[in-house]
Amino acid sequence: MHAWPASEVPALTGQGRDLRIHDTATGALVTLDPGPVARIYVCGITPYDATHMGHAATYNAFDLVQRVWLDTKRQVHYVQNVTDVDDPLLERAVRDGIDWVGLAEKETALFREDMTALRMLPPKHYIGAVEAIPGIVPLVERLRDAGAAYELEGDVYFSVEADPNFGKVSHLDAAAMRLLSAERGGDPDRAGKKNPLDPMLWMAAREGEPSWDGGSLGRGRPGWHIECVAIALDHLGMGFDVQGGGSDLVFPHHEMGASHAQVLTGEFPMAKAYVHAGMVALDGEKMSKSKGNLVFVSALRRAGVDPAAIRLALLAHHYRDNWEWTDQVLADAVARLGRWRAAVSRPDGPSADALVEELREALANDLDAPAALAAVDRWAALQTERGGTDEGAPGVASRAVDALLGVAL
């Protein structure tokens, strides 16, 4: 699939900082030391509805990861998937009486537009589940041949007991895992499974549902976790730097993905850091397509809200916090954008060199975007209250805000 156009990232003078980031698997901050090419996999959307503020917040976090790396003059090899065939997508198409392919294409196109408007850097490889099927089938066959997968009425399940490291991403107990599995696409109550937590690798063709040739697996469609593993291993290989997503992906999705990869390669972990963004809520509940309590990026754009203000609203929250979207959050961001634009619209001002370092320091410290915004606020206030004589300063400030925060002033 094609991704979306890249906005330019200005190069800043001086030295960027290495990223220290929270790793869910170890529960600690890790300082990543990628080589000249940093590798990141971020779980993409299931395209059955438009991009909401929760999605945007999560993708914003991983956009910052890349901006920190780019500032250290590294290249970034970024891969993202699109879960363009899965139960919720097919169910929505049936509910609305529309073609599932058309639904996925339409929502993916809208997602690209939203990401472009928000100045999110595009992945180098943007891969749909359907196009990944030829790579998924051999992995499932290998898992089965290694004794780590078994068949149940034509479906193929992964055996979590085949992985000695199972549980090392989420560290949850069995009861919690079982609950989350039922909530998030698993089928712990299905009779005949070896372990209730075992996830599906390959679902045999169902009447009225799309299916593909699965070689020795028979016709069917891929399970969700193996989709991301196949795409990540194909494009990044084992031991890449960051696997990212929202905190609702810790279990089962990233736990199962790590397990599949462990059995396939004998290595753990698949990613050096498992990074998870907090959940954005609306009216006290997690924003989710299934609940329908959504604020869409595209709806705000249509209403004339500047995408830069949407981005500032996201940046005002630490990526690991759970937070609530309100009208006030947006109003504050609009006001802040106005102050910042006024501050950089003068030909001179107070030196912004320290600001650049403060931005670097804040973001390298577990992506502390609120601290970064506070630093720009201070510089803008100084500019408004006292001004300054440094002729390049407004340009330096606006280039730093663009390069490191993705906000064009």
Give the range of 52-60, 201-209, 262-270, 298-306 binding ligand 5CA by CB under 6 A. 52-60
- Provide, rounded to whole angstroms, the least separation between the CB of residue 61 and ligand 5CA: 9
Residue 245 near ligand 5CA by CB under 6 A:
yes
Give the range of 101-109, 116-124, 200-208, 246-254 binding ligand 5CA by CB under 6 A. 246-254
Give the range of 16-24, 30-38, 39-47, 300-308 binding ligand 5CA by CB under 6 A. 39-47
Residues 60, 202: Cα–Cα separation, whole Å: 32
Which residue intervals of 10-120 are DSSP H helices? 53-71, 87-96, 100-117
Give the range of 24-32, 69-77, 114-122, 282-290 binding ligand 5CA by CB under 6 A. 282-290
Tokens 């975007």, located at residue: 369
For ligand 5CA, which residue of 21, 32, 40, 55 counts as binding (CB under 6 A)? 55
> Nearer to Zn ion by C-beta: 43 or 169?
43
Instruction: Answer yes or no: are the C-beta atoms of 200 and 157 closer than 8 Å.
Output: yes
Neighbours of 357 (CB within 10 A): 15
- Provide, rounded to whole angstroms, the least separation between the CB of residue 68 and Zn ion: 22
Residue 133 near Zn ion by CB under 5 A:
no
Task: Return the sign of the alpha-carbon dihedral for residues 100, 101, 105, 111.
Answer: positive
Q: Which of residues 208-237 bind ligand 5CA (CB under 6 A)?
A: 228
Cα–Cα distance list, 100 to 84, 239, 382 (Å): 9, 35, 54
Buried b (16+ CB within 10 A) or exposed e, 380-403: bebbeeeebebeebbbbbbbbbbb
> Nearer to ligand 5CA by C-beta: 132 or 376?
132
Instruction: Answer yes or no: are the C-beta atoms of 256 and 225 closer than 8 Å.
Output: yes
Residue 249 near ligand 5CA by CB under 6 A:
yes
Closest chain position to Zn ion (CB) = 43
- Provide, rounded to whole angstroms, the least separation between the CB of residue 287 and ligand 5CA: 4
Q: At what angle do helices 369-385 and 327-344 cross, to 10 degrees?
A: 50
SS3 sequence of 223-278: CHHHHHHHHHHHHCCCCEEEEEEEHHHHHHHHHHHHHHHHHHHCCCCCEEEEEEEC
Give the range of 16-24, 157-165, 210-218, 277-285 binding ligand 5CA by CB under 6 A. 277-285
Q: Which of residues 175-234 bind Zn ion (CB under 5 A)?
A: 228
Residues 403, 299: Cα–Cα separation, whole Å: 26
> Nearer to Zn ion by C-beta: 240 or 379?
240
- Provide, rounded to whole angstroms, the least separation between the CB of residue 11 and ligand 5CA: 29
Which tokens hold the place of 117? 């408007």
> Nearer to ligand 5CA by C-beta: 92 or 399?
92
- Provide, rounded to whole angstroms, the least separation between the CB of residue 233 and ligand 5CA: 15
Coil, strand or helix at 351: coil
Buried b (16+ CB within 10 A) or exposed e, 108-126: bebbbbbbbbbbbbbbebb
Residue 45 near ligand 5CA by CB under 6 A:
yes
For ligand 5CA, which residue of 286, 320, 341, 378 counts as binding (CB under 6 A)? 286
> Nearer to ligand 5CA by C-beta: 50 or 343?
50
Contacted entry of Zn ion, ligand 5CA, none for residue 287, CB cut-off 5 to 8 Å set by kind? ligand 5CA
Residues 285, 317: Cα–Cα separation, whole Å: 17
Instruction: Answer yes or no: are the C-beta atoms of 246 and 279 closer than 8 Å.
Output: yes
Residue 63 near ligand 5CA by CB under 6 A:
no
Q: Which of residues 14-43 bind Zn ion (CB under 5 A)?
A: 43
Residues 57, 80: Cα–Cα separation, whole Å: 16
Which positions touch ligand 5CA (CB under 6 A)?
Answer: 43-46, 54-55, 57-58, 81, 83, 228, 245-246, 248-249, 277, 279-280, 286-288
Which positions touch Zn ion (CB under 5 A)?
Answer: 43, 228
